[in-house]
């Protein structure tokens, strides 16, 4: 029996999901896309999990792209279906009601960068390389890269990465707003865990509402977004966590949030 393409491990309220194809630089084939989607859906349903960290196995790659060997012989309709399969995974991650951190430990190219951009936060090793090199294969991004990159980095950067296909450094990705933080490779694990634990200690319902209002606001007119924000803000006043958070502030102690 072959080894699973996705590994899942827990450390307290933090779940790590690891793409486990290091011999293929963690390339995304159909089976891996499906296994990842199942893993994220399970994390969403597990009440003990508050934060998810996504990374790749091995020292070289986060995810080096989609599996070219699997794609090479696809016909037009099959290529479209493969694209939709990948996009469904990215939307599953993007709309997850719990924060997802991409721990970019190496190459994040093509489908790998698209996977990272589907996450809510991205922390990268200073040795990582990121890019959309599909043009070099006679292709375009298919897992949402053109759309999320446009929203994160703007039109000029999107066209540069997608038209030239040249990978950029983690530091350049930070300048463009594609990643949130860049840290020395030796500190990536510790810094990611620190960030995950900070999020895990926060109020789960407020985290969920924050993700929700940002997702909604990014796709609608500002007046509609403001109204939605006010509605979600009001709902927080019905939670035990809001009472605990305000009491803890007034009593000068750390809050203990329960997700209620």
Q: Which ranges constitute the DSSP H helices of the chain?
A: 30-45, 68-71, 76-94, 111-118, 145-153, 155-164, 170-176, 188-200, 204-217, 222-236, 240-250
The active-site residue, picked from 134, 160, 171, 189, is: 134
CA dihedral (119, 60, 22, 163) in degrees, to 10, reads 60
Q: Which ranges constitute the DSSP H helices of 11-130?
A: 30-45, 68-71, 76-94, 111-118
114: annotated active-site residue: yes
Residue 114 Cα to chain centre, angstroms: 9
Residue environment code for 119-128, b if the CB has 16+ CB neighbours within 10 A, otherwise e:
bbbbbbbebb
The active-site residue, picked from 3, 70, 78, 114, is: 114
Which residues make beta-bridge pairs with 55? 18
Alpha-carbon distance 215 to 165, whole Å?
Answer: 28
* Helices 111-118, 76-94: crossing angle, 10 deg rounding: 30
134: annotated active-site residue: yes
Q: Which residues are catalytic?
A: 114, 134
């Amino acid at each position: 029996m072959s080894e699973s393409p996705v590994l899942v491990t827990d450390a307290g309220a933090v779940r790590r999901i690891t793409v486990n194809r290091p011999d293929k630089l963690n390339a995304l084939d159909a089976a891996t896309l499906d296994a990842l989607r199942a893993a994220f859906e399970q994390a969403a349903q597990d009440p003990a999990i508050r934060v998810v960290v996504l990374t790749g196995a091995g020292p070289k790659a986060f995810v080096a792209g989609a599996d070219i060997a699997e794609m090479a012989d696809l016909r037009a309709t099959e290529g479209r279906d493969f694209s939709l399969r990948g996009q469904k995974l990215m939307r599953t991650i993007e709309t997850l009601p719990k924060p997802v951190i991409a721990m970019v430990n190496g190459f994040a190219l093509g489908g790998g960068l698209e996977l990272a951009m589907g996450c809510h936060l991205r922390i990268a090793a200073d040795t990582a390389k990121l890019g959309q090199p599909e043009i070099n294969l006679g292709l375009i991004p298919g897992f949402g890269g053109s759309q999320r990159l446009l929203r994160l980095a703007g039109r000029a950067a999107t066209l540069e990465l997608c038209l030239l296909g040249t990978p950029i450094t983690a530091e350049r990705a930070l300048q463009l707003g594609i990643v949130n933080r860049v840290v020395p490779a030796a500190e990536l694990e510790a810094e990611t865990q620190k960030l995950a634990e900070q999020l895990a200690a926060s109020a789960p319902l407020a985290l969920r509402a924050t993700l929700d209002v940002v997702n909604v606001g990014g796709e609608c007119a500002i007046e509609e977004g403001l109204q939605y924000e006010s509605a979600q803000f009001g709902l927080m006043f019905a939670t035990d966590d809001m009472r605990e958070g305000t009491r803890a502030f007034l009593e000068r102690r750390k809050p203990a949030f329960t997700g209620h």
